[in-house]
């Protein structure tokens, strides 16, 4: 595969300047930047992103402006429908490519005919490393210590090799190795508040999940984890390529609304475990996490009182309290990032 046959797909949501900077950094990632194809999907930002991006992006970059926020997975899928290249890099808006990163990701996938996805080493702006490789989710670790599970994960941190799962700021995917593949969905039909949804969305919910697409029922968080699980189940490999480096600012969109981000993370977590584990697994996870939230809520309240209600303690208490209340209401309120018309509320044991 010629290394230039690569599409870089950037997803923008109210971060036009960051997205443009990320797209401009792609030139450093390859020795042949003139032959890269840049595609930016504006995910219904609702600000002036769609108007500003054409002037900010490198010459020749394409822009797909969606009419509303479809969530990360569906927005990426909308962009993938326009990709004809065998290799696509799905990129967040808050990344910067280090020298040669794109070439090294492409070369690693070329060298392993079974591999379908590759992830670079992730760096913070200060040069320290972020977690790029994560273990396959397990209820035990979700209820105890997810960070410990990451630390105990064994893989070669210095050389390219297979890993169970990766985080998604930059995912290189060989679409030509996934073409015409589909995996049956294990999720039950969605609970709809109204039948007046767009027919294309209803068809997406009912259809099998294509292996070369993200599962559109994950609005934000866990969509890449689900994709990695489906790739492994289909016999494909996922590679970690430490020789390729990308700087990641981490969570520029989510950091603006920490309570909503936490609720959305929990909603997607339950969705993932229902899909891959079933209702009993989700019930166990729900009860265990709610118990832990209760303990944390009490601890944060005591901490806030002990520090005379300083702003940091108050914010922690507010986020935990809202998350606890969302659980008390059986995860029904749409308090995450999902717009009201995107789908009906989540019920325990349903998607």
Closest CA to 231 of 115, 343, 145, 153: 115
Strand partners, 245: 121
60-114 residue pLDDT tens: 999 999 999 999 999 999 999 999 999 999 999 999 999 999 999 999 999 999 9
Query: Distance between CA atoms of 267 and 235, rounded to whole angstroms?
Result: 28
22-26, 192-196, 224-228, 280-284: segment of lowest average pLDDT: 192-196
Cβ neighbors of 203 (< 8 A, separation 6 or more) are none
Q: Cβ(50)–Cβ(42) under 8 Å? A: yes
CB atoms within 10 A of CB 127: 8
Angle at 94 between CA 204 and CA 108, to 5 degrees: 75
Predicted confidence at residue 255, as pLDDT, reads 64
Runs of H (alpha helix) within 278-307: 279-306
pLDDT of residue 188: 38
Residue range 299-324, pLDDT digits in tens: 989 988 887 656 777 888 999 999 99
Per the listing, tokens 């050389």 go with 159
pLDDT at 343: 60
Could you give the domains of the chain? Answer: 6-178+236-254 (3.90.550.10), 256-328 (no CATH)
| Residue 90 β-bridge partners | 9, 171
Q: For the residues 243-260, what does the mean pLDDT come to?
A: 82
Share of residues in the chain with pLDDT > 90 (%): 77
pTM above 0.85, yes or no: yes
């Amino acid at each position: 595969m010629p290394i230039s046959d690569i599409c870089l797909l950037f997803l923008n949501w109210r971060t036009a300047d960051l997205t443009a900077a990320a797209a401009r950094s792609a030139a450093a990632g390859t020795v042949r930047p003139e032959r890269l194809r840049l595609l930016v999907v504006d995910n219904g930002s609702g600000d002036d992103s769609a108007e500003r991006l054409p002037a900010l992006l490198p010459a020749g970059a394409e822009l797909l402006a969606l009419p509303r926020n479809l969530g990360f997975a569906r927005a990426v899928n909308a962009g993938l429908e326009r990709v004809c290249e065998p290799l696509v890099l799905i990129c967040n808006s808050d990344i910067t490519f280090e020298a040669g990163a794109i070439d090294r990701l492409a070369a690693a996938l070329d060298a392993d005919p079974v591999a379908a996805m590759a992830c670079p080493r992730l760096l913070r702006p200060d040069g320290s490393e972020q977690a790029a490789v994560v273990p396959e989710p397990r209820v035990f670790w979700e209820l105890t210590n997810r960070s410990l599970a990451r630390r105990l994960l064994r893989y070669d941190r210095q050389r390219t090799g297979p890993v169970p799962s990766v985080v998604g700021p930059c995912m290189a995917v060989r679409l030509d190795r996934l073409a015409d593949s589909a995996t049956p969905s294990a999720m039950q039909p969605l609970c709809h508040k109204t039948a007046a949804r767009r027919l294309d969305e209803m068809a997406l919910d009912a259809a099998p999940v294509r292996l070369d697409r993200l599962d559109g029922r994950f609005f934000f968080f866990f969509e890449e984890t689900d994709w990695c699980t489906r790739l492994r189940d289909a016999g494909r490999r996922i590679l970690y390529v430490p020789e390729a480096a990308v700087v990641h600012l981490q969570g520029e969109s989510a950091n603006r609304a920490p309570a909503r981000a936490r609720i959305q993370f929990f909603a997607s977590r339950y969705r993932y475990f229902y899909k891959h584990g079933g209702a009993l697994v989700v019930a166990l996870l729900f009860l265990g996490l709610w118990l832990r939230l209760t303990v944390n809520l009490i601890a944060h309240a005591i901490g806030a009182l002990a520090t005379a209600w300083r702003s940091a303690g108050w914010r922690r208490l507010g986020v935990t309290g809202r998350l606890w209340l969302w659980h008390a209401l059986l995860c029904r309120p749409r308090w995450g990032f999902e717009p009201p018309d995107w789908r009906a509320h989540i019920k325990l044991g349903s998607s």
